[in-house]
């Protein structure tokens, strides 16, 4: 049975929970949470209305599940990019680039996140607990101890980087010419690096 399930998954016949999250991602990024009825999500996912509430007792539960899913995926991608022997600056660059490229390639996830983080669903406290944020804060703390970064709360350094990534991604979306321009991307990183470095 387990083997059969794996087979299904590999063939692209995703389980309905995943189908629902994918459908919601598309519709949310097009019309926002509130203009997207649950019935439409189920329809787009090709499943029944009722099954949505089987997997996610409320619409808010679905939205939260999607948030954690995205955070996990961007964390896994970022971690896969960094390497051990890197200097601090190299690590920061790798993380910055990973974030920018991941968000550009996963445009719907990016749109979802923007909405979510500025909605009443979001709270700072939830975010701080995620391993992605914790890893970033740890790096910021390192840089501060090494006297490389400005002497402020590492959380602030992280938030500064995050908002710059967001701005960079938005800019690159509206100016696709630069998306493969390595020189331009280096300039973008310089902006971010200069901001946090001493």
Partner DNA sequence: AAACAGACCGACTAATCAGTCGATGTTAAT
Partner DNA sequence: ATTAACATCGACTGATTAGTCGGTCTGTTT
Centre a 10 Å sphere on the Cβ of residue 12 and count the other Cβ atoms it contains. 6
Is there a contact between 108 and 121 (Cβ–Cβ < 8 Å)? no
Is there a contact between 106 and 76 (Cβ–Cβ < 8 Å)? no
Cβ proximity to DNA: between 50 and 183 the closer is: 50
Q: Which does 166 bind (CB under 5 to 8 A by kind): a second copy, DNA, none?
A: a second copy
Closest CA to 69 of 104, 36, 106, 43: 106
Residue numbers of the site for DNA (CB under 7 A)? 1, 15-16, 35-39, 47-51, 53-54, 57-60
Q: How far apart are the first and last CA of the chain?
A: 58
Cβ proximity to a second copy: between 83 and 174 the closer is: 174
Cβ proximity to DNA: between 20 and 98 the closer is: 20
Q: Which does 89 bind (CB under 5 to 8 A by kind): a second copy, DNA, none?
A: none
Question: According to CB under 8 A, which residues from 18 to 77 bind a second copy?
Answer: 31-35
Q: Rounded distance, CA 73 to CA 55, Å?
A: 20
Task: Find the helix or strand (DSSP H, E) in which 127 lies.
Answer: helix 124-128
Q: Which does 57 bind (CB under 5 to 8 A by kind): a second copy, DNA, none?
A: DNA
User: Looking at residue 171, what DSSP letter applies?
Assistant: H
Q: Does 171 bind a second copy (CB under 8 A)?
A: yes
Binding string, residues 144-163; x marks residues near a second copy by CB under 8 A: ------xxxx-xx--xx-xx
Question: According to CB under 8 A, which residues from 71 to 130 bind a second copy?
Answer: 114-115, 117-120, 124
Is there a contact between 113 and 70 (Cβ–Cβ < 8 Å)? yes
Q: Write the CA distances from 46 to 18, 49, 55, 100, 105, integer angstroms.
A: 12, 9, 15, 32, 25
Shortest distance, position 105 Cβ to a second copy, whole Å = 20
- In the complex, the residues that contact a second copy under the rule CB under 8 A are 31-35, 114-115, 117-120, 124, 150-153, 155-156, 159-160, 162-164, 166-167, 170-171, 174-175, 184, 187-188, 190-192, 194-197
């Amino acid at each position: 049975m387990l083997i059969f399930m794996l087979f299904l998954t590999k063939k692209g016949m995703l389980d309905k929970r995943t189908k629902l999250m994918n459908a919601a991602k598309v519709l949310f990024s097009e019309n926002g949470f509130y203009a997207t009825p649950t019935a439409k999500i189920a329809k787009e996912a090709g499943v029944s209305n009722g099954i949505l509430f089987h997997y996610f007792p409320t619409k808010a539960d679905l939205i939260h599940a999607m948030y954690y899913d995205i955070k996990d995926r961007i964390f896994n991608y970022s971690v896969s990019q960094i390497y051990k022997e890197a200097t601090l600056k190299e690590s920061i660059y790798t993380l910055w680039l990973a974030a920018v490229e991941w968000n550009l390639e996963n445009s719907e996830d990016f749109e979802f996140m923007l909405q979510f983080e500025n909605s009443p669903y979001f709270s700072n406290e939830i975010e701080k607990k995620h391993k992605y944020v914790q890893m970033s804060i740890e790096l910021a703390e390192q840089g501060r101890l090494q006297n490389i970064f400005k002497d402020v709360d590492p959380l602030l350094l992280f938030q500064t980087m995050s908002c710059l990534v967001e701005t960079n991604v938005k800019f690159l979306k509206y100016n696709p010419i630069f998306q493969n321009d390595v020189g331009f991307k280096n300039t973008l990183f310089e902006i971010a690096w200069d901001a946090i470095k001493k």
